[in-house]
Chain A
Amino acid sequence: MVETGNMNTSRPRVGRPQNSRHTDFEELYRQYSREVWAVAYARWMNADTATDIMQEAFLRLWKQWGQHEEIRNPRAWLMRVSRNLAEDHAKSAFHRNGTQPPQTMNGVRARGGQPLDSLERQETFGQLRKILWRMAPVDREILTLRYALDYETDEIAELLAINPTAVHMRLSRARQRLAERLKAEGIGQLT
């Protein structure tokens, strides 16, 4: 169940033209869709699932707008909804009964490049994905925001509504834990 908490208000958007509403929404999507994706991705380590969750979160936002309900902080609202949707995904019938995507099964995903290099690269990424999956969700989230979105400490702190010092500490610990696991499994050596 998605909680919207007290971020909603029932103030109608009086006199707001339809075109302006569309433009505002497009702007919100442009600004926050990657963050929403990153949060969902960090939970499941699956790009397609993350994209589905992102679309669903924005669709719900669009419907809220259609009901003329103003959301004071759309970014916080989207973060909350995407986290809830990501948790709900665990309970969904497809997740329980469906098959695993190929990249989860063997870490190999068809993309461009030289076949051997690409294969080695995808194999490394597959192993890295497995290691990340075994890490704590908070570690995955902070690493995703840092490396997928290239966010600095301050930006992550603002998004997660925590202290920059706490972000720095979490990031440092997550990196340390990951480095230890990578070292133990011999992954990530550059040639």
Chain B
Amino acid sequence: MNFKPLIPVEGQNHDSSPDNLDVLLSAFFRSEMPSRWPAFQRSEQQAVPAGRRRSFLKRSRLALAASLALLVGGYWVLSGAMPSQGPLIRLFKPEAKRPALQQHNNQSAVHDAPR
């Protein structure tokens, strides 16, 4: 079967008889239908297989463990490299905290005293 596409030509007698139209339409619609009819795809078939899911979990746990190790190791390395008398460190020393804490305790004692 062969269809000839034509550019409209004046006076030309085009054959669009019912038989021809049937043949043309049948061929067209058949060509449009999938040649291999697709099987139904259930959602669970599209889900990730269990094996792949497990390996993904394993990898993500490893990545988390490595990140934590890096964080702790980095902290130790940096704290060793920093001078111990730095201003930030001094702030967190017990002596640095004591006056403020004492002042606060004194104020609380005044407020809480029985009248």
**Chain A interface (Cβ < 8 Å from any Cβ of B):** 25-26, 29, 33-34, 37, 41, 47, 51, 55, 58-59, 62-63, 111, 117, 120-121, 123-125, 127-129, 143-144, 146-148, 150, 175, 178-179, 182-191
Q: Does B88 belong to the interface (CB within 8 Å)?
A: no
**Chain B interface (Cβ < 8 Å from any Cβ of A):** 1-9, 12, 14-16, 18, 20-34, 37-38, 40-43
Q: CA separation between A149 and B21, bound complex, in Å?
A: 16
- Chain A residue nearest to B46 (CB atoms) is A59
Q: CA separation between A25 and B20, bound complex, in Å?
A: 39
Q: CA separation between A25 and B42, bound complex, in Å?
A: 11
Residues from chain B with a CB closer than 8 A to the CB of A182 are: 14, 16, 21, 24
Contact indicator A189/B40 (Cβ below 8 Å): no
Contact indicator A175/B2 (Cβ below 8 Å): no
Partner of A47 from B22, B24, B34 at Cβ < 8 Å: B34
Contact indicator A120/B21 (Cβ below 8 Å): no
Contact indicator B21/A190 (Cβ below 8 Å): no
Contact indicator B2/A188 (Cβ below 8 Å): no
Residues from chain A with a CB closer than 8 A to the CB of B30 are: 147-148
Partner of B12 from A25, A186, A190 at Cβ < 8 Å: A186
Contact indicator A120/B3 (Cβ below 8 Å): yes
Q: CA separation between A55 and B39, bound complex, in Å?
A: 9
Q: A47-B32, A55-B38 are in contact. Are A190 and B1 (CB under 8 A)?
A: yes
Contact indicator A189/B34 (Cβ below 8 Å): no
Partner of A120 from B2, B31, B32 at Cβ < 8 Å: B2
Q: A59-B42, A190-B1 are in contact. Are A128 and B28 (CB under 8 A)?
A: yes
Residues from chain A with a CB closer than 8 A to the CB of B33 are: 34, 37, 47, 148
Contact indicator B5/A120 (Cβ below 8 Å): yes
Contact indicator B3/A188 (Cβ below 8 Å): yes
